[in-house]
Amino acid sequence: MKRIRIILWGLVLFAVVGIVVAKVMLPTRPRPQQPEQAASGKLFAVPPITLTDQDAKGFSTAQLLGRPWVADFIFTSCPGSCPIMSHQMEELQKKTPAALALVSFSVDPEHDTPAILKEYGQGLHADFSRWHFLTGTHQQMVDAARDMKISVHPADKDFALSHSDKLLLVDQTGNVVGVYDGTSSMDLDRLVADATKLAHKGANAS
């Protein structure tokens, strides 16, 4: 029995050492930085971002001034959080007033052409009069993510393309006023309530 215990403890020690070595030696992808959620008020202003929509037409976020909108960053071939986030956006479309716009920015513009984005949107029953799918050049999409304070890590030989899974609520004046977990049903409920309140506020003001 004593010999067996020694062997077992030796195996445990070997496993622990292996885990420690793996953590030190193997490369790790840093977690995408997320925009900080303030208790209330405006977080940051969104500058005008001009890209190409699902109909291959120019579209600028400046066109959304006067109405609230929700943004997410996805790519159509994403096997991870994107399908969940896109489903959340589809739910937002169902549960919020038409005055709320939705904007999905692609982080894989080399693949996500306007035609592919349109097909993707159709699969989500997108109302293209209020839900815009945007793409552009690689640099344009990098700049858009930076302007929206969304982290995107491009694919390389060690890692797949990754990005923040946050949904951003933008008010009628172009300021981000809320950050939400794009994979959380509880956060979706909170976003629906906040976005609906903003949409009604804008309607009452006009």
pTM exceeds 0.85 for this model: no
Residues 33 and 203: their CA atoms lie apart, in Å, by: 34
Percent of the chain scored above 70 by pLDDT? 74
Strand partners for 20: none
| pLDDT over 80 (residue 106) | yes
Q: Which long-range contacts (CB under 8 A, 24 or more apart) does 126-130 make?
A: 126/90, 126/93, 126/102, 127/93, 127/98, 128/54, 128/55, 130/93, 130/98, 130/100, 130/101, 130/102
Longest CA pairwise span in the chain (Å): 83
Residues 6+ positions from 29 with CB-CB distance below 8 Å:
153, 158, 159, 162
DSSP-derived 3-state class of residue 132: strand
Model pLDDT for residues 158-197, shown as the tens digit of each residue: 556 667 899 999 999 999 999 999 999 999 999 999 999 9
What's the confidence (pLDDT) of residue 22?
37
Strand ranges in 78-140 using DSSP code E only, listed in sequence order: 101-106, 131-134
Model pLDDT for residues 25-52, shown as the tens digit of each residue: 334 344 444 444 443 478 999 999 999 9
Domains plus CATH for the chain? 44-205 (3.40.30.10)
Beta carbons of 136 and 164 less than 8 angstroms apart:
no
What's the confidence (pLDDT) of residue 129?
97
Query: Does the CA dihedral 128-132-133-135 come out positive or negative?
Result: positive
Instruction: Find, among 135, 131, 112, the residue nearest to 50 by Cα.
Output: 135
| pLDDT over 90 (residue 10) | no
Residues 174 and 34: their CA atoms lie apart, in Å, by: 19
What's the confidence (pLDDT) of residue 158?
56
Residues 6+ positions from 165 with CB-CB distance below 8 Å:
81, 84, 85, 181, 182, 183
Model pLDDT for residues 110-136, shown as the tens digit of each residue: 999 999 999 999 999 999 999 999 999
| pLDDT over 90 (residue 69) | yes
